[in-house]
Amino acid sequence: MHGFANPARFLRLARWLTAPLLLGGLAISGAALAYGWFAVPPDRLMGETVRILFIHVPTAWLGMGGWTMIAIASLVELVWRHPLAGIAARAAAVPGAVFTAICLVTGSIWGRPAWGTWWVWDGRLTSMLVLLFLYFAYIALAGAAQRDGASNRIPAIFGLVGAVNVPIINRSVVWWNSLHQPPSITLGKSAIDPAFLWPLLVAAIGFSLIFGGVMLARMRALLADIQTEARLRRKALEA
């Protein structure tokens, strides 16, 4: 892990990986969505609305996965002082927030014909909305710390504390009486028909590659900003 603590070494790897991740993710997710929308038959109960599954479920996973990345990077920053950990956490926040927002929007579209309403204060929906607000708060907090030259410990601690919401989201349909369906995919089991399951998993892989590509691109941009700011400060001192 510390082998990539050198920003120059990391940037060489990131430049090589960013485009393949983005292009590969777009191709894979596009193919999976096209197959899911046009080739998969309608569901017996949900009809054509089942096709939202191929966007809604992967974005929900990545919304939770994004905050898990923030929590892990925050822990690494606090304990091991890895110089890229805080940058990785900041880079994961924006795509994580975008995927969470897409999850909420597609869930509402799915919920309208299924439940007869766009929104209910259900445990799963409410905890997912809280996750979106946590992303907004983290982005603002990390941006303020960077802008004011404050310690990165506060955003890192917030990233760890906010991770408490991830298992709440995951278990909400089990702990509380919920309109949201129970987990369809668990460890080693799936209640989803293979006709829907395989394009769903392929779409999840594609979206994950896009997430990784965007995250690397943002890390490169953040490092460039930091390096530019450092050069400007050196010039100001020399003047």
What is the 3-state secondary structure of 38-69? HCCCCECCCEHHHHHHHHHHHHHHHHHHHHHH
pLDDT over 90 at 49, yes or no: no
Question: In this predicted structure, what is the pLDDT of residue 158?
Answer: 97
Q: How far apart are CA 205 and CA 228, in angstroms?
A: 35
Amino acid letter for position 182? P
Q: How far apart are CA 174 and CA 203, in angstroms?
A: 26
Is residue 167 very low, low, confident or very high in pLDDT (cuts 50, 70, 90)?
A: very high
Give 147 or 164, the one with higher predicted confidence.
164
Is residue 174 very low, low, confident or very high in pLDDT (cuts 50, 70, 90)?
A: confident
Mean pLDDT is lowest, of 28-42, 161-175, 201-215, 224-238, for: 224-238
Question: In this predicted structure, what is the pLDDT of residue 5?
Answer: 60
pLDDT over 80 at 48, yes or no: yes
pLDDT over 80 at 120, yes or no: yes
Is residue 155 very low, low, confident or very high in pLDDT (cuts 50, 70, 90)?
A: very high
Give 8 or 237, the one with higher predicted confidence.
8
Amino acid letter for position 35? Y
Mean pLDDT is lowest, of 65-69, 78-82, 162-166, 226-230, for: 226-230
Q: How far apart are CA 227 and CA 24, in angstroms?
A: 30
Question: In this predicted structure, what is the pLDDT of residue 237?
Answer: 66
What is the fold, at CATH topology level, of the domain defined by 22-35+49-177+194-238? Four Helix Bundle (Hemerythrin (Met), subunit A) (1.20.120)
Q: How far apart are CA 88 and CA 21, in angstroms?
A: 16
Mean pLDDT is lowest, of 33-42, 71-80, 101-110, 188-197, for: 188-197
Question: In this predicted structure, what is the pLDDT of residue 147?
Answer: 81
pLDDT over 50 at 85, yes or no: yes
pLDDT over 60 at 43, yes or no: yes
Instruction: Find the helix packing angle between 85-115 and 53-80, rounded to 10°.
Output: 150
pLDDT in tens, 87-105: 999 999 999 999 999 999 9
Q: How far apart are CA 127 and CA 130, in angstroms?
A: 5
Question: In this predicted structure, what is the pLDDT of residue 1?
Answer: 46
The β-bridge partners of 43 are: 47
- pLDDT above 70 covers a percentage of the chain that reads 90
Tokens standing for residue 80: 């091991």
pLDDT over 50 at 64, yes or no: yes
Average pLDDT over residues 184-203: 81
- Cβ atoms of 136 and 78 within 8 Å: the answer is no
**Nearest alpha-carbon partner for 219 in 6, 70, 14:** 14
Give 105 or 230, the one with higher predicted confidence.
105
Q: How far apart are CA 175 and CA 208, in angstroms?
A: 28
Give 136 or 192, the one with higher predicted confidence.
136
